[in-house]
Chain A
């Protein structure tokens, strides 16, 4: 029995990675939920908006690195982030002008707009691959660890290391700031309130003199902003590869739906539910269990429930279970 080592191993392999991944999913799901509740469709292009934002930020980061600008121990990408957000917002607004506005004027049904967003997704997919290629890109720099595993071992004398990567710390801190800002914006500012009003009852919002074009534009800008931040954080933490962002759509939508589509708090909760389930189901529990059970019961098996190749199955299973018992999600979003 070695509870302390078991706890450290749990923190190191499950809790910290889950927290960072959950924060990334939560940010992604927030964007999906925002577009869903205000523009009233499920935006399949959101994953690629994240990729586009990350790509713009990476290009800017490379340029910064080439002229010798750095952000000390923090990743240079954080400096490049505002430029990435601006570029993505401009791209998304242009897409709205060229594509979505037409369908909005036609008062097209949400199903049609969803398919339209699928088309936008493929175009963005192509644009991204055309500009940066299909390969993996690494752009994280600065200090690698906030808490070095070796230092931790020396400090505590435990057998198990505990590592906190800079990117993980940056992810969680940034996510907290973004979420706090978003909630302040939606609850306290007049623009945020008109967005909520628009989401609540579009007819009444129009009759109250709220300009729909403005609400739509602000929504796209915010969605592009959060998507870029989520994309960059994910890229810093793992690595940037266009295809993985396309795959990320699944857990992100699962998170938004599990939490309740249209509910920002739900999106955050959903993000962590999906992330922790994925990490826990695909984690090899052997080490942790062997610390906890008496020596003669120690196991040789990995105790891994599911290979990481199947991790997407986890989000789907949770999605189905939640929809069966709570069709509007954990936080009572709009029903599908």
Chain B
């Protein structure tokens, strides 16, 4: 469970996250939506350790993790993906996955020389795991491609695959659907649901596609101007007046209402 308590992150005078408090329950797929500039990605950056908070706390299962660097959070099982997919471009897709598991024997230079068989056995095991993950994500055919050469949507799948190489507890997905076609988006959605059901991953998903959110997420948290505006099921927040206002502004909201009452 992740608890965010009165979190602030300011950039000079600009309050990107301005007193956000929210809870992500273990085992849930929590959606995080909000208009552009609501502070969703900054919130992710602070939780995942890329930016230190200006004030406030982040608790993971009761432990204060605010301001810990990403590689430490990784070892605690907290992972994230990026809005624009990141990859190690000079390595193959399979190598990208094989980079992930920590504390490999080959990490000690002496082992690479003097304990070759152990290193090789371990590599074989990790390689097998990588192939399983690729199979799960239905991108086995890309295993030996350079990661810089695959499509944007496939990179998103690769990012998801990275979280499967270790036993993640909670995964933060930043706009997995951005720039991805429908078919691939469904594949990604299926993978998320399966990971949630079969492996007990907790997810927190930023996404603008409401159909995608409605299919996957319960609850949905709405952010605006750095704060949490509303929380509920997808349907509840969709009909929440304050949410509509945040997305459309007061003037447009009234027009929409008028149109609705006439039609």
Contacts and interface: CB of A to CB of B under 8 A. Distances in A.
Given A190-B112, A209-B74, A212-B71, A197 B91 contact: yes
Contacts, number: 72
Contacts of B131: none
A207 interface: yes
Interface in A260-308: none
B106 A191 contact: yes
Contacts of B69: 206, 212
A66 interface: no
Contacts of A197: 88, 91, 99
Contact of A196 (B79, B90, B106, B108): B90
Contacts of A207: 48, 70-71, 74, 79-80, 86
A74 B70 CA distance: 49
A204 B90 contact: no
Interface residues on B, range: 20 to 34
Contact of B99 (A188, A194, A212): A194
Nearest to B105: A190
A208 B102 CA distance: 8
B179 to A, nearest CB: 18
A109 interface: no
B107 A191 contact: yes
B87 A206 contact: no
B212 interface: no
A201 interface: yes
Nearest to A200: B88
Contact of A191 (B102, B109, B166): B109
Interface string B57-100: 00000000000011100110001101000111111000100011
B104 interface: yes
Given A193-B95, A211-B71, A201 B88 contact: yes
Interface string A153-190: 00000000000000000000000000000000100111
B118 interface: no
A203 B109 contact: no
B50 interface: yes
Given A203-B82, A207-B79, A189 B88 contact: no
Given A190-B106, A191-B112, A208-B99, 10 more contacts: A188-B112, A189-B106, A193-B99, A200-B90, A200-B91, A204-B82, A206-B70, A206-B74, A208-B71, A212-B69
Interface of B: 48, 50, 69-71, 74-75, 79-80, 82, 86-91, 95, 99-100, 102, 104-109, 112, 119, 162, 166
13 contacts: A190-B105, A190-B106, A190-B107, A193-B95, A194-B107, A200-B91, A203-B50, A203-B82, A204-B82, A207-B71, A207-B80, A208-B99, A208-B100
Interface of A: 185, 188-191, 193-194, 196-197, 200-201, 203-212
